[in-house]
Chain A
Amino acid sequence: MKRNTFLKQLPKHIIIWIFLLFTFFPVVWTISASFRAGGGLVGQKLIPDNPTLSHYERLGEIGFLTWIKNSLGVSISTAILTVFFISLAAYAFSRFNFWGKKYSLITLFILQMFPAIMGMVAIYLLLYHIGRYVPFLGLNTLSGLVMVYLGGGVPYNIWLMKGFLDSIPDSLEESALIDGATRFQAYYKIILPLSTPILAVVAITTFISTYSEFLLASIVLKDPAKYTFAVGLRNFVAGMYDVRWGDFAAASILGALPIVILFLALQNLIVSGLTRGAVKE
């Protein structure tokens, strides 16, 4: 009986296996390239002849550590600041009725449709001008880049977090307010701890999307010492696949690994955040 169902399911397994092959094709070849002696694309075999760690050992020389340091700096600060600003704003939108609420919400709703990259020309010119007065927020600075990411994420994340906060009953806060807590105390002593899951979703999705962002970073950052991983890796390998394939593969694997692990470990949390609306109600 059991054998029978497996046989019946065999076609399904075969189709899935074909897609698994497709999925793992680039992954496997990259891993193999990273352990292969010699740098180029030419004559690569799936199982390298003389496996070596030399590509990994050279990562420091090609600037990999600088890129990762910059990327982590930008992504972590963007994630933390986003959570800080967004949780405050989302709380107000979820809990109060006030002048301008409706129109603010509509504005946010419309704005969340526009990716920040459509204003890239203006962002470039804006940072150029800001930099003439405040050098640390200008072009070619990581903090300027963080500001751009922060501003661009506001509308979507406010809606995302507001949706979650709305599901926390008012009664919890009300009892605290009766006991003499101020509004702000009610916010950070009651609402914030209860909303940890959504804070985590916002922080992690912001972290991952910032880490993976290429376009704005490549516009803002010009100095190789400031490159994030995306910009650095691309400029390192573009047009140089013939000689840098091995080093590139090693950098790719180490650079992708933390994100892949984070994503897979928290996949349910992240997927629910990213596909909001799909399975609603």
Chain B
Amino acid sequence: MNLTKNMFLYLYAGIIGVIGIFFSYILGNIAGDIWGLLFFLVSFLFVVFIIHPKTYPWRYIVPAFTLMLIFMIYPIVYTIQIAYTNYGTGHILTKEQVIEQLEKETFLPENPKNYSYAVYEDDKGNIKLLFKDEEGNIYDIVNKKMTVVEKGEFPLEFEHYKILPQEKKFTKIGNFQNLKIPLEEDIFLQLSDINHFATFRQRYKYIPQEDAIYDFLNNEKLISQKGFFVRPNGEEVIPGFVEYVGWENFLRLFKDERVSKSFLRVFSWTFIWAAVTTLLNFAVGLLLALLMNDKNLKFKGIYRTLLIIPWAIPAFISLLVWVGLLNTEVGVVNRILSSIIGVKIPWFLDTTWARVALFLVNLWLGYPYAMTVCLGALQSIPEELYEAAKVDGASNFHQFKSITLPLLLTAIGPLIVGTFSFNFNNFNVIYLLTGGKPPMSDISTVAGTTDILISYTYKLAFEGGRGQDYGLAATISIIVFIIIAALSIFNFWISGTFEREVKYE
């Protein structure tokens, strides 16, 4: 009994350990060795926690926390890291990878040595090349050195290889086109024309002391600058590499005209959007809740169920339906409007109307939630308060002002702030309904006039017309993080939730 139990325990610890080592390796590769090491230490701690009897409760927690670490906390940390880099189209590889790639490039120097060649094949299909210079020396390549093996004509047989006749030789040429046979001193033998190999030289060489690359073809030094190796004449060598750029992405948001104009517009619209839509939804929700909070109201149960339906339908479906209904030319809404008042509203073509459409559709999506929480809060207000007020002769309006509203707001205040945060990041509504459109006519940017920060981030990272800009996208994510965190702290502060939950639960 005890033995099997221990076996399970060690098996469990072993699995967590293996996952830990594996992900440390991956995270180390993506984000740098520090993160890999950190994750390794955490998973090592987890393994100890599992085995050690004193930390018994952690046995229940480790699986959930491992998942959360990899797929939630790590992406947050990594986002912060990306924000300080130039990661994006043109800057995907690491510097080491770019250097490796450049150092593979070769060029034909002014006075190369030319060799004709013969192709040999053995019975197993292995291929061998021999080379002949202009004096008739025949060479084989051994350990990066050209060694003379014959003089005069190519032999018909060499070791266990047999020569291929001329016409068969050219069928193999495809194999040699990208072949680089390394010799000493950074020289390579490469095919120069169909009949000849020539000595090519390695074109670029990295000089670690100077953090520069030397170009032997043009005899110039390329310095590493802003994610590129740059020639003295200012030309950047493609591809660029990922590099830390410090606060540059943050500065771009405010100082770089191409980015800052659109960013500031998106930023202010995000606040307007979240504030207006939240208040609108709660105003309507409260109105309906007040109407329904009447014991004598007929069909109350049915009304409630029917009014809650927009909440029950997956939002993406409703949003896609609304896009069709609001179609400017042939949508049902405009057809009804034009038959009644003779006007077709350009719902998605005009900024103001697109915003109205967003408010209306989000009202449709959001009022059931607002109504439900208002109703719940109203019902929790003790009846005696109203009776006492009646006895004192307070009017209906007075009761509402002095009893209902204050008590209601204390109960739902934190939820209003929470809804604000939710709408602040309500990607689905914006992206699926308007897609951020219409575009900003006066600036060249991926952002449209109805884009909010989170949809702007998405476009920068995954839909950029001029390539992806992960660095800038991550930077905007961080700004969103900060705003949401500030809102949440404010929320705890006004509601005292945090103290209550941590202390008593």
**CB of B10 closer than 8 Å to a CB of A:** no
B60 touches A91 (CB 8 A): yes
Chain B positions within 8 Å of A208 at CB level: 314
- Partner of B477 from the list A99, A121, A264, A278 (CB cut-off 8 Å) is A121
Hey, what's the 0/1 contact readout for B46-77 against A, CB within 8 Å counting as 1? 00000000011111110111011111111110
Task: Report the stretch among B246-254, B261-269, B303-311, B398-406 that lies at the interface.
Answer: B303-311
Inter-chain CA distance A15–B314, complex, in Å, is: 26
Q: B310 and A23: CB pair below 8 A? A: yes
Whether B64 and A118, one on each chain, are in contact in the complex, defined by CB atoms closer than 8 angstroms, is no
Cβ-defined contact, A9 with B502, below 8 A: no
Closest to B71 in A: A151
B127 within 8 A of A: no
B412-462, CB < 8 A from A: 412, 414-415, 421, 425, 427-428, 431-432, 454, 457-458, 461-462
Are B311 and A279 touching (Cβ within 8 A)?
Answer: no
Residues of B within 8 A of A129 (CB): 26, 29-30
Which chain B residues border A95 with CB–CB below 8 Å?
A: 57
Q: State whether the Cβ of A196 lies closer than 8 Å to any Cβ in chain B.
A: no
Residues facing A in B296-325 (CB within 8 A) are 296-299, 303, 305-318, 320-325
Number of contacts between A and B (CB, 8 Å)?
277
Q: How far is the CB of A77 from chain B (nearest CB, A)?
A: 13
- CB contacts under 8 Å to A, within B446-488, are 454, 457-458, 461-462, 470, 473-474, 477, 480-481, 484-485, 488
Residue from A23, A89, A118, A155 having most chain B Cβ neighbours under 10 A:
A118
Nearest to B68 among chain A residues (CB) is A154
Task: Give every chain B residue within 8 A of A125 (Cβ-Cβ).
Answer: 30, 78, 82, 470
Q: Which of A23, A101, A233 gathers most chain B CB within 10 Å?
A: A23
Q: Which residue of B lies closest to A117 (CB)?
A: B427
Q: Is B501 an interface residue (CB 8 A)?
A: yes
Asked if A116 is at the interface (CB within 8 A of a chain B CB), the reply is: yes
Chain A residues within an 8 Å CB radius of B364:
22-23, 26
The chain A residue with its CB closest to the CB of B360 is A22
B72 with A121: CB separation less than 8 A:
no
Q: How far is the CA of A6 from the CA of B299 in the complex (A)?
A: 11
A248 CA / B319 CA spacing, docked (Å): 12
Residue of B nearest to A116 (CB): B72
Interchain CA distance A125-B71 in the complex, whole Å: 11
Question: Does A212 belong to the interface (CB within 8 Å)?
Answer: yes
Q: Does A69 have its Cβ within 8 Å of any Cβ on chain B?
A: no
Complex-state Cα separation, A28 to B308, whole angstroms: 16
Which residues between 62 and 105 of chain B lie within 8 Å of chain A, taking CB atoms?
A: 63-65, 67-76, 78-79, 82
Expressed in whole angstroms, the Cα–Cα distance for A227 and B253 within the complex equals 35
Chain A residue nearest to B69 in the complex (CB): A151
If A89-B65, A211-B314, A259-B313 touch, does A119 touch B78 (CB 8 Å cutoff)?
yes
B105-131 residues with Cβ-Cβ distance < 8 A to A are: none
Q: Which A residues between 206 and 231 are near B, CB-CB below 8 angstroms?
A: 208, 211-212, 214-215, 219, 230
Question: A275 touching B376 by the CB < 8 A rule?
Answer: yes
Which of B29, B60, B461, B497 is in CB contact (< 8 Å) with A120? B461
A183 to B56, CA, bound (A): 10
A64 on interface, CB distance cutoff 8 Å: no
Q: Is A56 an interface residue (CB 8 A)?
A: no
Whether A102 pairs with B502 at a CB distance below 8 angstroms is yes
Q: A6-B298, A26-B322, A151-B68 are in contact. Are A159 and B317 (CB under 8 A)?
A: no
Is the Cβ of A120 less than 8 Å from the Cβ of B457? yes
Tell whether B155 is near chain A: CB-to-CB under 8 Å. no
**Most chain A CB inside 10 Å of its own CB: which residue of B22, B61, B454:** B61
Are B325 and A277 touching (Cβ within 8 A)?
A: no
Partner of A98, one of B29, B57, B432: B57
Q: B288 at the A/B interface (Cβ < 8 Å)? A: yes
Residues of B within 8 A of A130 (CB): 26
Q: Known contacts A41-B331, A260-B313, A279-B380: does B296 contact A9 (CB below 8 Å)? A: yes
Cα distance A96–B54 when bound, in Å?
A: 11
Nearest-Cβ distance from residue A21 to partner chain B, whole angstroms: 11
Q: Are the CB atoms of A264 and B308 closer together than 8 Å?
A: yes
Q: Judge if A52 is at the interface, Cβ distance under 8 Å.
A: no
Q: Which 6 A-B pairs have the closest CB atoms?
A: A151-B71, A119-B75, A263-B312, A92-B60, A122-B75, A212-B314
Q: 23 A-B contacts, Cβ less than 8 Å apart?
A: A9-B294, A12-B294, A19-B307, A30-B321, A41-B331, A92-B57, A98-B55, A98-B56, A98-B57, A110-B485, A113-B485, A118-B454, A119-B75, A122-B474, A126-B70, A151-B69, A155-B72, A211-B314, A215-B427, A242-B330, A260-B309, A279-B373, A279-B377
Q: Could you list which residues of chain A lie within 8 angstroms of chain B, going by C-beta atoms? A: 5-6, 9, 12-13, 15-16, 19-20, 22-27, 29-30, 33, 40-44, 85-86, 88-89, 91-93, 95-96, 98-102, 104-106, 109-111, 113-126, 129-130, 133-134, 147-148, 150-152, 154-155, 158-159, 162-163, 166, 183, 187, 208, 211-212, 214-215, 219, 230, 233-234, 237, 241-242, 245, 248-249, 252, 255-256, 259-260, 263-264, 267, 271, 274-275, 277-279
